[in-house]
Structure 1
């Protein structure tokens, strides 16, 4: 970070020296002071969108020093006391610094604070519309924006929260709920942890949730939350959850390290999921019915975030260089858990898929696993591949022994790759130096070794064989591909065949496409739907069967392709799909409205349907729903002042994917002179943030 600042901003040498020593001093704070526990009595205000509280930190001085620091972004402090007496302090707007001639021994620090977080704590919806949710996301943005804590992952603290909020809402935080009391329309929720954790794993979620509780084999309560409207979606959403928990406890060989495990879906979450200690928050698109389960199940995210409770939460990487110890492990153990559900062919097919991605990425990716700046693909997938290679090399039993020893020895501490390797060396003479050079310290993907391991499975052997045929003329390989398509080969193999023949002449590949449809496998049939955008008349009836598949994604692809290819059949397709809704982002409903509006003579109530589609693009809905609606509105050129305003509002959204979509779309539209004029006209009606974003785009 320091080097980046030097080159990017050309700071002076003196500033560099100051920044270096300041950063170094904080990095070394854990050697001087050990913060043991904290009790935060906090109140969250949804109207002013702020959080305030009374904080009690207990800490032990390990060495003498004159200053200790707590990270606190843009907060206001009052009543700051050390051991219940006043103390000199400094608020830098990034840290609360306590200035005192500290000596070895135990201390108590108390203070009041007020924060209005610009990030990390998010307020979704409102009490007026009865759709309020409040949730936090500490990783990458830091908990210190809403709770005075520590951006350094090496400072582990026992966190306890007493949270005051409207009693009509459910309030969820880390640890066990030990008590709850009501007073004057408010409830105080008292959550307690028993073991220390890094600050980025502190969480808070508030909303109108219900829950169901299951008990793991080890006796751990598993609390699974959902919004009341999603009660019917509970089973497919949380399918296999208890099984995943029981499997990972057994596979890892170390009992789940916390007293309870909670899972909470929230709207407009920044990522797929986040492994806060004892409480995973995940994105609401994974709340699914039994049909959506076929396309978008929560299983992998579920297993991945659960594995982090050991790899990341129980033992935490000392710094970004060793981040693979969290993401690589979580990815690999999630894959092991999925193997328990779906079998060996699935397991090896996923390894094959990630190997293909890594092989392609290695052509341009110049950053290896053991580097804080490595890509997500590298940390997650190459890290998982490294563990697979290691386990195959030393044997499953030795691998398990090493992992168990590693977790026991470093429980509730911070670790490096050498800490893990030290446990491997106790059970095996495997050459870890060469392993590290080949898998962790180079950007090259070892395709030869990967393929050798993949060939242990019949499905991936076929995948590799089919891959070698990619450049052969279809005529030369057709008989073989037909034979495979007729066999009981795993579905990923048949998907690979359909993908390989995508650009072939239709008549030449027709037989294979028919066989693909006849597999009655959802994924294989969906691959046909995706790859065949130009549909011949003599294949229309076979393609139309895709409209009946148990997959909202397949139905969406098939509907738009059929509507485009066969104008004379549009009424029939629209009648068949008029009651479709799709995923919880309304993908099928928004598509149907768009198609209906653009089918001559089909409807008379165009204004009503336009209003419905525009409503889906408004801030009343999640970003994914809004983006679906906006994409359809723009594609079919249904653009009025309200659509443009909703598009500008998208640029202010807290999720980078949706805000980027808004900016990129406006850039394209501004190339049209009339639309540029329309955007300029609405400037006066926008709020300050919206006006800033649009003006910046207009000035580009």
Structure 2
């Protein structure tokens, strides 16, 4: 013991004798990350190579009688059992390589015993004969006596509750579906139709096959009495789009811009659509937006709308989002923890497509909604984008905004090169965070660890406090802008480092700008004012590129100038929003001058909402003029800002308000009718007569 103690003392003295580099030690950083319960993917005992399902389905009886064949390969260790998801299935027989096997059921899974150890890297076939009355998973609508008013459909966007499968979400396999059903209906599944056979007994058997691997949760089935239109993209890809036979006139409205999406995404990614066919299938009683099953998207039938319902819930964004999944999530898949890799990209590319057809201001509108949802989640917790509990606001919205910032930083060519390399190198593979980071580095030469670290791996967003003052140095005039980061700093969120543009706008209409790196607690930026001009306003991060909060106290004159003179709609909007707490009397002149400078509904709608929030607005002539102007604008969403904000209509705008009953948008008519009847009950019969031929959107909501 004494000898051990002497050795310890000697080592301690030796360490103390070594001269330390104090700078190296003081600058050492220890990174902490939010604990993630899904950090480790679920272990696989076998690799499922193919799922083949042969099934007879009876709609009226809510019944399936099937046989599933799962081809699999063993991993590195000898395998003596398999774990297969069979929830709600009645198993009749289980075989491996033609031999009957014993099994036990546990928590919706079948533990199947091989009776002999299956050696490493050998291939086998598991056969399960079963039947079921599925309770969810495979959805039967319109078949029961109490559902005759619904469309007769059967649909599934996973194998749950109707076909045995391995519940490893990152497992890749091919698919084969052989489905027998009533011959009066059509059947669709993943991949290409191999054959359709008339069985002579009132049924047809449909055989579909997808011979490229994809993740197990993206299997689908759709059965119904659909109309079908087959056409091709400019590159010759087969498209198959389903529609409701009783509403053929809605086809072009619902699927508007569909072909153009392929051109945009193939150009953006540098990768042609990676599958042999693409389908769109509207599902009855579908409670979601859409599901990106490989080659075949299911979407909510409530989006199969006519022209007048377009601005309530059209299919363009969901259509583009689910199509983008065919590259991101399907072609390149992700481990379960990295949900953002599956959702951020489709959210981003749907927005990019909408920008290509609707323009910059629409794109900024979508981004504005992404900002709102990002910070809504930030008020609840501080999870990162890459965390399995990050939530929708981060997987979808913040992740999309982060890709915007990455594109800004890398530039068009660099960003596109990185995306193409990422997709090419990881085709039909399962990836994680590091795979995307490596692809960016390999394609661009840029080491983006700093970017990924603060925006994806760690939580939080920067909160910048801005102030400025004119100064003179060596007989030269400058504007000194101070940027402080005032968000909470802890072991999970640090100061952010980003290049951010600052523009100084002068009263003569000119401007100067710089794009410095903002880093640390405080950053001072000096922008030369060569002719010592008078400042009108300053923009920090013009056109709102950075995900951030901002505190920037400005006078009403500065805000008014920004609202009227800014080049970008979103900068005008930010100025109007900054006036929210001011009285109408103080800001109405600024509103009146700014309103004509931009026609986009997001900007004008914010002005209208702030006007109407003042109880005395009807007494202000300029306020009334702006409301009348909005009603007469002819823009559905600008009119919506009026009818969504007003409950009781002042007589000063009654005549204009009545014209909304002939608006092209169902929702505007509905809200205007409600407001008019509430505000002028003696004229109720007049308003009901004016809308007697209106039915409305979902639920006959004008007629009822």
Q: Runs of 4+ in structure 1 displaced over 6 angstroms? A: 23-26
- The answer for the alignment partner of 2:106 in structure 1 is 92
Using the TM superposition, give the Cα deviation of residue 174 of structure 1 relative to its aligned residue in structure 2, in angstroms: 0.8
Larger deviation, residues 387-396 vs 128-137: 128-137
- The answer for the alignment partner of 1:452 in structure 2 is 541
Query: Max radius of gyration: which structure?
Result: 2
Listed one character per residue, the Cα deviations across residues 205-235 of structure 1 (whole Å, up to 9, x for unaligned) are 1111011122012221111111111111111
Matches of 2:85 and 2:675 in 1, distance apart? Answer: 54
With normalisation by structure 2, the TM-score equals 0.76
- The answer for the alignment partner of 1:570 in structure 2 is 684
Q: Is the 8 A contact 2:242 2:282 kept in 1?
A: yes
Matches of 1:89 and 1:186 in 2, distance apart? Answer: 34
Matches of 1:240 and 1:334 in 2, distance apart? Answer: 12
Match of 1:58 among 71, 75, 98: 71
Which has the larger share of strand?
2
Give matches, 1:14-413, under 5 Å: 27-29=42-44, 32-63=45-76, 64-92=78-106, 94-100=108-114, 101-104=117-120, 105-126=122-143, 129=148, 131-138=151-158, 143-183=159-199, 184-320=201-337, 322-413=338-429
Matches of 1:289 and 1:467 in 2, distance apart? Answer: 34
Listed one character per residue, the Cα deviations across residues 162-215 of structure 1 (whole Å, up to 9, x for unaligned) are 000000011111111111011210010100102111221111111110111220
Larger deviation, residues 87-96 vs 273-282: 87-96
Match of 1:527 among 641, 650, 653: 641
Matches of 1:276 and 1:326 in 2, distance apart? Answer: 13
Using the TM superposition, give the Cα deviation of residue 96 of structure 1 relative to its aligned residue in structure 2, in angstroms: 2.7
Q: Is the 8 A contact 1:358 1:445 kept in 2?
A: no
Matches of 2:642 and 2:336 in 1, distance apart? Answer: 45
Q: Does 1:498 align with 2:587?
A: no
Using the TM superposition, give the Cα deviation of residue 550 of structure 1 relative to its aligned residue in structure 2, in angstroms: 0.9
Q: Is the 8 A contact 2:418 2:444 kept in 1?
A: no
Matches of 1:453 and 1:154 in 2, distance apart? Answer: 41
Q: Is the 8 A contact 2:51 2:173 kept in 1?
A: yes
- The answer for the alignment partner of 2:484 in structure 1 is none
Larger deviation, residues 210-219 vs 232-241: 210-219
Q: Does 1:553 align with 2:667?
A: yes
Listed one character per residue, the Cα deviations across residues 455-502 of structure 1 (whole Å, up to 9, x for unaligned) are 477111111222222222223322221122223443321112112223
Q: Is the 8 A contact 2:437 2:452 kept in 1?
A: no
Using the TM superposition, give the Cα deviation of residue 362 of structure 1 relative to its aligned residue in structure 2, in angstroms: 2.0
User: The residue matched to 2:168 in structure 1 has which SS?
Assistant: coil
- The answer for the alignment partner of 2:702 in structure 1 is 588
Gaps of 5+ in 2: 1-37, 465-497, 501-539, 546-566
Matches of 2:603 and 2:301 in 1, distance apart? Answer: 31
Using the TM superposition, give the Cα deviation of residue 440 of structure 1 relative to its aligned residue in structure 2, in angstroms: 2.2
Output the aligned Cα RMSD.
2.2
Count, aligned residues = 561
Return closer, same or farther for 1:24/1:512 CA change in 2, 3 Å cut-off.
Answer: closer
Matches of 1:468 and 1:429 in 2, distance apart? Answer: 41
Using the TM superposition, give the Cα deviation of residue 93 of structure 1 relative to its aligned residue in structure 2, in angstroms: 5.8
Q: Is the 8 A contact 1:144 1:150 kept in 2?
A: no
Larger deviation, residues 438-447 vs 95-104: 438-447
Listed one character per residue, the Cα deviations across residues 632-653 of structure 1 (whole Å, up to 9, x for unaligned) are xxxxxxxxxxxxxxxxxxxxxx
Which has the larger share of helix?
1
- The answer for the alignment partner of 1:629 in structure 2 is none
Q: Is the 8 A contact 1:74 1:93 kept in 2?
A: no
Using the TM superposition, give the Cα deviation of residue 328 of structure 1 relative to its aligned residue in structure 2, in angstroms: 0.8
User: The residue matched to 1:77 in structure 2 has which SS?
Assistant: strand
Matches of 1:514 and 1:581 in 2, distance apart? Answer: 26
User: The residue matched to 1:177 in structure 2 has which SS?
Assistant: strand
Listed one character per residue, the Cα deviations across residues 279-313 of structure 1 (whole Å, up to 9, x for unaligned) are 11111110111111132211001001111111111
Larger deviation, residues 478-487 vs 231-240: 478-487
Matches of 1:197 and 1:353 in 2, distance apart? Answer: 32
Return closer, same or farther for 1:496/1:397 CA change in 2, 3 Å cut-off.
Answer: same
Q: Does 1:416 align with 2:437?
A: no
With normalisation by structure 1, the TM-score equals 0.77
Q: Is the 8 A contact 1:439 1:446 kept in 2?
A: no
Gaps of 5+ in 1: 1-22, 591-700
User: The residue matched to 1:114 in structure 2 has which SS?
Assistant: strand
Q: Is the 8 A contact 2:48 2:166 kept in 1?
A: no
Larger deviation, residues 412-421 vs 474-483: 474-483
